[in-house]
Amino acid sequence: MADNVDEDAPYRIKEEDYVVLKRGDIFKAVQIVPKKKVIFEKQWFFLDNAVGQLYGSTFDIVPGGTLQPRKPKDAESPADAKEAGTDNRNIQDDGKSQKLTRDDIENFKEQGLTDQQIIQQLVDNSSTFIGKTKYAQDKYIKKKKKKYENIVTILKPSCRILALMYHGREPGKICHLRYDTLAQMLTLANIHAGSKVLVFETCAGLLLGSVMERMGGYGSVIQMYPGGGPVRAGVESFGFPAHFHDTLHEFPVCHVNALLAGTLDTAPPKDASAGRDTNSAADDVCDPEKEAREKQRGQRLSFKRKKLASAAALLEGRNADGLVIASRFHPCPVLMGMLKFLAPSRPFVVYSQYKEPLIECYTKLKEQGGAVNLRLADTWLRHYQVLPNRTHPVLLMSGGGGFLLSGTTVAADAPKPAGAQRAEGPAPKRLKVA
């Protein structure tokens, strides 16, 4: 028995874990904090009872806001396999088929009937239920369940689940990156353990987290960021172990040109410390607090400088193994700059919500050379409803998933070899001397 519990331990929910709540197709990423109220789908509850359960378990939300594990065995739905009609010719839609009133249902809720029981009551008091076809009855019950069932499933976060969540909840935050397009990016860029990947994204950290997940803590990821500091909110939701963050570096895009030119200065400035010394000599009598603050600030700055230097050292070798770009900024200048950090024969992928910026990038790359296998593509995603006798496509999502430009770097062109003459025109005519 004790062994059993130990084996399961990695699959059990723990406090402080980052998890994803799921009901139907709605997801939400939260952290398990004891005695903290969580709101999800218009319901408030505490996650305390989830600790110790297996990931993937489903819970009932009982009135009061606590979670109760739900027995998986009660799968039989109310009014199963009873009478059913053949078609809807006699079914009038006059709003009078349900005999229970709203007050009655409120009473049931107050009395504490379970959702199964409430649905059973609704079915029993519906005059048209028996006349519906079996499929219509299933649909009716499904609709009621959606309204009255208070369940939530707790999942372990992963790239797939978080991509589904972001795309469903806040596509604007991730530049409308659809999850299958994200999948294409990760594969086309050959993200795997042990490589050195450059990432430039403004997708709330979703792309960065997905890249880190695929690398499993091996290798290194350098995040290039616009502006003052890297945005990594999404990376937290993945719940990576601490050592994954050791592989993550960051480098500001504003310094890329300096680094390429070799003029980036990461040494600590000399005069600042000199200034501090003279200051402290004069003021040390009256302001020990100020001194401490200054010292802290100095430490923070030198810490930042060290990180900048370490990232610059990783980049300077110009031997990165992959480049992934997905941002709301125009990709052209970013791409052209960052390609220089890639070794030859390495893949790169650029995502954009619209294809025009990628067309520009494509043209520039063709002109400049240094990349082969350039491909500008988008993918379509179609969901299917899969039920016996009722399997069919649900809807077509088209043009909403963004576009990808992918290619492979090659060694920069040496002066044109002799072989090129083959296709040049005839040799220019010699001018006749008059």
Partner 1 sequence: MSFVEYSDLIRDGDVAIVYLGHESMMHVKVKQGAQTQTRYGVIRHSSDLIGRRYGSKVTCSKGGWVYVLHPTPELWTVTLPHRTQILYTTDIATITMMLELKPGCVVCESGTGSGSLSHAILRSVAPTGHLHTVEFHQQRAEKAAEEFKEHGVDGLVTVRNQDVCKDGFGVSGVADAVFLDIPSPWEAVRHAKAAMKRQGPEDVRGVGRGGLRGDQHPGGPAEGPRRADRLPAAARLRRRPLRSDRRRRCRPHRDQASDPRRLEDHHPAQRDARSHGVPDLRLQTQDLKSSGF
3-state secondary structure of 121: helix
The tokens describing 125, both together, are 């008091």
3-state secondary structure of 220: strand
**Judged by CB, which is closer to partner 1: 195, or 237?**
195
Binding of residue 55 to partner 1 (CB under 8 A):
yes
Using CB under 8 A as the binding criterion, the count of chain residues that bind partner 1 stands at 70
**Judged by CB, which is closer to partner 1: 302, or 363?**
363
Name which position in 261, 285, 414, 434 contacts partner 1 (CB under 8 A): 414
Minimum distance between the CB of residue 127 and partner 1, rounded to whole angstroms? Answer: 36
Q: How far apart are CA 273 and CA 172, in angstroms?
A: 45
Binding of residue 288 to partner 1 (CB under 8 A):
no
Q: Scanning residues 340 to 379, which ones bind partner 1 (CB under 8 A)?
A: 343-347, 355, 359, 362, 372-379
355 to 232, 296, 302, 352: CA distances (angstroms): 26, 47, 42, 7
Binding of residue 335 to partner 1 (CB under 8 A):
no
Binding of residue 27 to partner 1 (CB under 8 A):
no
Q: Scanning residues 5 to 24, which ones bind partner 1 (CB under 8 A)?
A: 7-8, 10-11
Q: How far apart are CA 404 and CA 383, in angstroms?
A: 21
Whether the Cβ atoms of residue 235 and residue 205 lie closer than 8 Å to each other? yes
The tokens describing 312, both together, are 């610059």
Buried-state track 374-385, b at ≥16 Cβ within 10 A, e below 16: eebebeeeeeee
Name which position in 258, 297, 384, 395 contacts partner 1 (CB under 8 A): 384
Beta pairing, strands 26-31 & 18-23: antiparallel
Residue 135 DSSP code: H
Query: Binding mask 151-190 vs partner 1 (x if CB under 8 A, - otherwise)?
Result: ----xx-xxx--x---------------xx-xxx-xxx-x
Binding of residue 304 to partner 1 (CB under 8 A):
no
301 to 168, 263, 268, 287, 309: CA distances (angstroms): 39, 20, 9, 21, 12
| Kind and range of the H or E run holding 39 | strand 37-40
Minimum distance between the CB of residue 189 and partner 1, rounded to whole angstroms? Answer: 9
Minimum distance between the CB of residue 156 and partner 1, rounded to whole angstroms? Answer: 5
Binding of residue 51 to partner 1 (CB under 8 A):
no
Phi, psi of 304 (to 5 degrees): -60, -40
Minimum distance between the CB of residue 351 and partner 1, rounded to whole angstroms? Answer: 13
Minimum distance between the CB of residue 424 and partner 1, rounded to whole angstroms? Answer: 8
Name which position in 37, 142, 304, 382 contacts partner 1 (CB under 8 A): 382
Beta pairing, strands 371-377 & 403-409: antiparallel
Phi, psi of 138 (to 5 degrees): -60, -45
Minimum distance between the CB of residue 313 and partner 1, rounded to whole angstroms? Answer: 19
3-state secondary structure of 96: coil
Q: How far apart are CA 221 and CA 201, in angstroms?
A: 12
**Judged by CB, which is closer to partner 1: 82, or 390?**
390
Q: Scanning residues 193 to 252, which ones bind partner 1 (CB under 8 A)?
A: 193-195, 213-218
Minimum distance between the CB of residue 377 and partner 1, rounded to whole angstroms? Answer: 4
Residues in touch with partner 1 (CB under 8 A): 7-8, 10-11, 54-57, 155-156, 158-160, 163, 179-180, 182-184, 186-188, 190, 192-195, 213-218, 319, 321, 343-347, 355, 359, 362, 372-384, 386, 391, 408-411, 413-414, 417-419, 421-423
